[in-house]
Amino acid sequence: MYIRTAITIAAGLLVLTAMTDTARAADSRGPDPLRIYALNKDAAMFPSGITSWESFIADLASSDVVFLGEYHDDDASHRTQLRVLDELAWRHDFRVALAMEQFERDVQRQLDAYLSGEIDEESFLADSRPWPNYPEHYRPLIEYCREFNIPVRAGNIPRRFASIVSKEGLPKMYGELTDEERPWVAGATVNEKNAYYDNFVNAMGGHGSGMSEEKMTAFYQAQCIKDDTMAESIAQIRDSYPDMPVLHINGSFHSDYGLGTVERLVQRRPDDRVVVVALRPVDSFVNLDPFSDRELADYIVYVPGPDWGKWKLETMAREAAEAEAAEAEAAAAEAAAEAEAEAEAEAE
């Protein structure tokens, strides 16, 4: 009897689990259409490079660190980030960590206090300097982690220290750090003028921007200290919890081409498997060309941009206008024919 009861209970749990998994599988499609391309041909499902959400997530789940490179103000990219976090959390029994560019190391205590329920949201927001778009774009991630007890690392350097670097140089910034402030900044930083520097100069408007070489170098050093601080933050999680994967949220420039934060993490933890994802908003999935820049990332995920579907609406409006004009022309021709027929009838 006890055996039969145990089997019945186990069967019920299996059914419940299956129902839950089925519901999540359907929900994992999310509200946004996506096009996912594996820029490494070995990871693609088809010669076109396109791959499925399930295959994409399975690969991310097998990695140690995942970088999701975003455009900060894109709605669909942020919704996709939450979907990825949810998928990774379930596949790792919620033993996953989230690290974020959008919070700075000196507010880690406030972030931990909010996640654990020690302070309310109003107090958290008042003391953590959230980005202006926090409510619509980053709050869903934090609330998810709060609900499921997922640790979140405030990974970035406090902006006041990066500002000192850009204005007065690295030695000045490091020289003025107090014992309390020192853990908020990467212990070491590298700012050699390599491919990342070239990309940075181009992003800043090129050498023709009017900025002096000295000033450009100072801004680049500030960029690099951000990257090194975020990379060190991820490495610290991995050093302390080697079995816990990390999902890192950052602006795409910090992870594109495996440079920036990615390169600095690899220097610190060369044996970790790192996957870089570039989220790119587009207006249409027509004429995509993901392989024009194969070195950009391991995956490029196209999401609906702010003008998504606009081309279709414009096409429909144009076709409707053309149809209306054709109908009016036909009606005018018909009226003219009727008038001509009546005139001929009167003449007879």
Residue 301 has pLDDT above 60, yes or no: yes
What is the pLDDT, as a whole number, of residue 127? 97
Instruction: Report the alpha-carbon distance of residue 137 to residue 133 in Å, rounded.
Output: 6
Handedness of CA 275, 280, 285, 291 (dihedral sign): negative
Span 234-258, average pLDDT:
98
CB 102 within 8 A of CB 130: yes
Residue 256 has pLDDT above 50, yes or no: yes
CA distance readout (Å), 59 to 38, 62, 64, 300: 10, 5, 10, 14
Q: In this structure, which topology does domain 34-308 adopt according to CATH? A: Rossmann fold (3.40.50)
What is the pLDDT, as a whole number, of residue 12? 43
What is the pLDDT, as a whole number, of residue 25? 41
CB 154 within 8 A of CB 108: yes
Summarised one tens digit per residue, pLDDT across range 216-228 is 999 999 999 999 9
Question: The tokens 């979907």 sit on which residue?
Answer: 83
Which residue, among 302, 321, 296, has the nearest Cα to 40 in the 3D structure?
296
Summarised one tens digit per residue, pLDDT across range 152-182 is 999 999 999 999 999 999 999 999 999 999 9
CB 252 within 8 A of CB 222: no
Residue 109's Cβ-side half-sphere holds a number of Cα atoms within 13 Å equal to 5
- Mark out the alpha helices in the chain (DSSP H runs): 2-27, 53-61, 75-91, 108-115, 121-128, 139-148, 159-168, 170-176, 195-203, 213-240, 261-268, 310-347
Summarised one tens digit per residue, pLDDT across range 56-74 is 999 999 999 999 999 999 9
Q: Specify the pTM.
A: 0.81
Which region among 119-128, 275-284, 308-317 has the lowest average model confidence (pLDDT)? 308-317
What is the pLDDT, as a whole number, of residue 339? 75
CB 311 within 8 A of CB 283: yes
Instruction: Report the alpha-carbon distance of residue 83 to residue 52 in Å, rounded.
Output: 14
